[in-house]
Structure 1
Amino acid sequence: MNKIILNKGKDKAAWQLHPWVFSGAISKALGKPQNGDIVSVYNIEDEFIAYGMYNGNSRVAVRLLEWDPRNEIDEQWWRNRVKKAVNNRLSLLTDQNNTVRLIFAEADFLPGLIADKYADYISVQIHSAGIERVKDIIIDELAQLLEPKGIYERSDLKSREYEGLPDTNGKLFGDVPPEFVDIIENGIHYQVNIVEGQKSGFYCDQRENRAITAKYVHGKKVLDCFSYSGGFTLNAFREGASSVTSVDSSALAIETLNNNIKINGLDSKNHIAVQSDVNKYLRELGEQGEKFDLIVLDPPKYAPSRAALEKASRAYKDLNRRGLMLLNSGGLLATFSCSGAMDIETFKQVIAWAALDAGKEIQFIYQYCQPEDHPVRASFPEGEYLKGLLVRVV
């Protein structure tokens, strides 16, 4: 097996079970490892640390998998990891919820692999060359464990470029998903477009946060920004919101949202769906003097890396300032960040600055997080990407 030797003093994180070895930590490679090869990682004193997947193109040069030298990374190792991840989620699958994240990359010791279950179909994303090598094994194990109608790959990701991999979309097992797959989350039906929708098709990481936020909406005027297929909107209507305005820049998202309202038999006469840039629309609402009782801000990732954090903080501040200015006294802002580079304390500070600029006094009354099927591995805090705050305007 090819061998990677780490520089002196650069082995601490690896000993502490962190799964990433950056290229700058490597002293030398013995042998000629190719992208996707399994390598053994040693410190400068020639002590074994772990096995991992190598990629010379990536800043993360080795993604560590196994710290016990007795556990060979063979076909059965991969199958066991997939089986463990799936079994840990089975309790979340009920008649009220048939959608769940089955595999969450590093959190499940499978770096570069995402798998989501949408009713009878599984959507897969592969981010790393090492996982690409064993894709057939992983798909076969998922098919045996869950017997889906089909498994579809949505590996059209920027991260694949850094791994030297082309974009790949298509059927991996069984049938190609229909244009819309009917799923259930929190007892609400959604039509999910796995083949062309955003990410792997749906944002199941907000499942619990949608239900929590809906507890506050009865009789309230709600604005749902970056609404996508209507997760927060539908939960709000079910819990008795007096009206909901949903805003998204995607025509497909708005079409899907309107269909979701119909299939759930919800009264759409008090619903307004707006295809628009959210910041532009918030500015227009402010000019019109509109006010709301509860606003949801669930934007895309503004900070893909720590280098982008300062710029992202300004974007989050401006977005939230506009939202806060549209709230009535006593109104609530449910605001989120899915940027892993932004921790919760920084996010709180950004919202505090936004409130100051908006001339609003606020209270933080609840702190959102990602759900059980998106666990945070103790040795990989970077996996804690989703955070949110429920803010009251005093």
Structure 2
Amino acid sequence: MRARVVLKPGKDKLLRRGYPWVFANQLHRIEGEPRSGDVVEITAADGTTYGLGFYHEHSQIAVRFLTPDPNAQIDAGFFRRRLERALALRQAAFGDSTHYRLVFSESDGLPGTIIDRYGDVLTWTCLCYGMEQRRELLLDLLEELLRPRAIIERNDHALREKDGLPQRRGVLRGQYGGPVEIVEEGVRFRVDVLEGLKTGFFLDQRLHRPVVARLARGRRVLDVFSADGGFGLMAAAHGAAHVHLLDISETAMERARTNARLNGLDTNRLTFDVANALDRLGELVAQGATYELIVLDPPAFARSKRHLDDARRAYQRINISALRLLPPGGLLATASCSQAVDEATFLKIIHYSARRAGCALRLLYRGTQPPDHPVLEAMPETAYLKFFLFQKLTDETPPVRQ
């Protein structure tokens, strides 16, 4: 007989709406003696059964929801069906493309688990103790479904410690002989899934890179936080007059140089600049530099609500500088991947930045996560990416009061 967790009176509202986490402070009592990673039944104070989830006795997230069926068997068949459903969605969305996020944690019914696909190489990232316990079962299923050449562990993430899991990185299955090549919009990229940023490439911006590239023809482009060159090199391949790639990582910049050579791009049209972006943007403003298109795709400045003030200042700083580097008619593509900064807050930051830069903006394009990063409507944590493309209209708008 399964152990059961019983919630305090009135603490099941979020669960009723489909929110898939139960926090430790919501629990009234535990019936039985479950251990971390065990499957438990979730019950409201009035006896209503909500289903099954993974239990963790020491985590702030006490239970991660799995299924509303209290009689379900959480076995190989259960996980196979979840993986097949996730794969079917990606194949429908991207056709013959074989690089995408195959599993996006709770949004795909596989708690705390992220699986990325780069051709015949997969990456495994897991922040959930219960899923980590069943890792070998999941890896077996992945091998059956996709026959990958290698499965790489990218568990070098501090959030694992919240579930008592160590940070690790390495080859879990198969042989990994080095970077994997992918193609987007005819542009080739070598992706180092073992040593690259995140799992090797920013898959979540795949719908936005072509939008920027189409507008880059004939323009001077500044790609800030350029990483391996996704935005900048695609812009160069689509006819940008010159692309200035700016990133603090020398290793990322070397990968960008490799990708430029891979595509036969004219290095006279490219500048590779290793520097702190926040400082360099200010220097470029002081130098009177100008660009016709600027891309800002920074890392998450706010990992949690506690960091919101610092994040707001950082976003303001880079967007004000970028707008000052653009002439009237210039284009700003600006993004935030901080889940703690919602869209309304980010737009307020942009509007404030425009006033500080003494200009007005016209919105040309608004984007969010692609279909392989689906948002669970009841779980705001699964919605994190904001992307806007603005045109600068004038330098005559009155500045904001200090």
Calculate the TM-score normalised by the size of structure 1: 0.97
> Do structure 1's residue 208 and structure 2's residue 204 form an aligned pair?
no
Provide the secondary structure at the position in 1 that maps to 2:153.
strand
* Deviation of 1:232 (Å): 0.3
Instruction: Give the root-mean-square deviation of aligned CA atoms.
Output: 1.3
> Do structure 1's residue 344 and structure 2's residue 348 form an aligned pair?
no
1:81 is matched with 82
* 1:256-298 alpha-carbon deviations (Å, 9 max, x no partner): 0010011111212110000111011101101110011000000
Tell me how far apart the structure 2 counterparts of residues 184 and 130 of structure 1 sit (CA, whole Å): 35
Number of aligned residue pairs: give it.
392
> Do structure 1's residue 21 and structure 2's residue 22 form an aligned pair?
yes
After superposition, residues 102-113 of structure 1 pair within 5 angstroms as 102-113=102-113
Letter in 2 for 1:132: E
Tell me how far apart the structure 2 counterparts of residues 308 and 21 of structure 1 sit (CA, whole Å): 24
* Deviation of 1:380 (Å): 2.0
Letter in 1 for 2:350: I
1:119 is matched with 119
Letter in 2 for 1:42: T
2:165 is matched with 165
Tell me how far apart the structure 1 counterparts of residues 185 and 159 of structure 2 sit (CA, whole Å): 32
After superposition, residues 1-394 of structure 1 pair within 5 angstroms as 1-93=2-94, 97-175=97-175, 177-394=176-393
Tell me how far apart the structure 1 counterparts of residues 144 and 263 of structure 2 sit (CA, whole Å): 32
Tell me how far apart the structure 2 counterparts of residues 91 and 262 of structure 1 sit (CA, whole Å): 32
* Deviation of 1:93 (Å): 4.9
What 5-or-longer segments of structure 1 have no aligned partner?
A: none
* 1:73-99 alpha-carbon deviations (Å, 9 max, x no partner): 22211121112111211234556x331
Letter in 1 for 2:199: S
* 1:43-102 alpha-carbon deviations (Å, 9 max, x no partner): 11122112111122222211101012232222211121112111211234556x331110
* Contact 1:210-1:235 at 8 Å conserved across structures: yes
* Deviation of 1:148 (Å): 1.0
* Contact 1:50-1:69 at 8 Å conserved across structures: yes
Provide the secondary structure at the position in 1 that maps to 2:331.
strand
* Deviation of 1:372 (Å): 1.1
Tell me how far apart the structure 1 counterparts of residues 21 and 310 of structure 2 sit (CA, whole Å): 26
Tell me how far apart the structure 1 counterparts of residues 15 and 74 of structure 2 sit (CA, whole Å): 17
Tell me how far apart the structure 2 counterparts of residues 80 and 94 of structure 1 sit (CA, whole Å): 20
* Contact 1:152-1:173 at 8 Å conserved across structures: yes
* Deviation of 1:152 (Å): 0.9
Tell me how far apart the structure 1 counterparts of residues 187 and 244 of structure 2 sit (CA, whole Å): 19
Tell me how far apart the structure 1 counterparts of residues 212 and 15 of structure 2 sit (CA, whole Å): 39
Tell me how far apart the structure 1 counterparts of residues 184 and 153 of structure 2 sit (CA, whole Å): 22
Percent identical = 39
* Deviation of 1:155 (Å): 0.7
2:396 is matched with none
* Contact 1:234-1:261 at 8 Å conserved across structures: yes
Provide the secondary structure at the position in 2 that maps to 1:195.
coil
Letter in 1 for 2:358: G
Provide the secondary structure at the position in 1 that maps to 2:266.
coil
Tell me how far apart the structure 1 counterparts of residues 77 and 260 of structure 2 sit (CA, whole Å): 45
Tell me how far apart the structure 2 counterparts of residues 187 and 115 of structure 1 sit (CA, whole Å): 25
Provide the secondary structure at the position in 2 that maps to 1:64.
strand
Tell me how far apart the structure 1 counterparts of residues 294 and 6 of structure 2 sit (CA, whole Å): 52
Tell me how far apart the structure 1 counterparts of residues 94 and 347 of structure 2 sit (CA, whole Å): 33
What 5-or-longer segments of structure 2 have no aligned partner?
A: 394-402
Tell me how far apart the structure 2 counterparts of residues 138 and 348 of structure 1 sit (CA, whole Å): 40
Tell me how far apart the structure 2 counterparts of residues 249 and 74 of structure 1 sit (CA, whole Å): 45
Provide the secondary structure at the position in 2 that maps to 1:330.
coil
* 1:283-324 alpha-carbon deviations (Å, 9 max, x no partner): 110111001100000000011112322321121111111111
* Contact 1:41-1:51 at 8 Å conserved across structures: yes
Calculate the TM-score normalised by the size of structure 2: 0.95
Provide the secondary structure at the position in 2 that maps to 1:292.
coil
Tell me how far apart the structure 2 counterparts of residues 318 and 14 of structure 1 sit (CA, whole Å): 39
* Contact 1:331-1:393 at 8 Å conserved across structures: yes
* Contact 1:192-1:201 at 8 Å conserved across structures: yes
* Deviation of 1:19 (Å): 0.6
* 1:333-377 alpha-carbon deviations (Å, 9 max, x no partner): 100000111121111111001111111222222111111111112
